[in-house]
Amino acid sequence: MKQLIWLTGLSGSGKTSIANALKPLLANGYILDGDVLRKGINQDLQFSEEDRIEAGRRMGEIAKILLDANHHVIVASISPYRATRNKVRSLVGESFIEVYVQCPLEVCEQRDPKGLYRKARSGEIKHFTGIDSPYEEPLDPDVIVETNKLSLGRCVAKIMELVVN
């Protein structure tokens, strides 16, 4: 059975790094990265709650198509709303693995690989998750990886314990 591994967490928490490390371990794996999709299929969306929900819906629908085509799918997306993640879980059923890529906001801000937190703090970016827009932590994720405490390899190993390859 192919699975959808949904990596959710704040910007800078390590979602893309984990996705890139997971992909070679999965037979027929495919990554859907929120940043990449925002430049293409989601370029018409902004950062309002409605647009973020729509972005999550689109990712879920694309992931389902890829699952049906016999791919393991890794989604790396902030996906800040529980309702969106729960909707995708109901769409794909038991194939869904929710991974909370947990990292304190302060550490994410220190990492800030794209300079986004600095821009959000200075007011250049509005509706930034964790600053002036909410992030709803998963209540019951399938696995939590604390990227400020665990190595990338250990995070990947914890996730792979749940994957049927």
Q: Are 76 and 33 in contact (CB under 8 A)?
A: yes
Q: What would you measure as the largest C-alpha separation in the chain, in angstroms?
A: 46
Q: Evaluate the CA torsion angle 108, 151, 154, 2 in order and state its sign.
A: positive
Rounded to the nearest angstrom, the gap between the alpha carbon of residue 3 and the centroid of all alpha carbons in its chain is 15
- Is 79 an annotated catalytic residue? yes
First to last CA, the chain: 8
Select which of 79, 90, 95, 151 is catalytic: 79
Residues labelled as active-site residues: 79
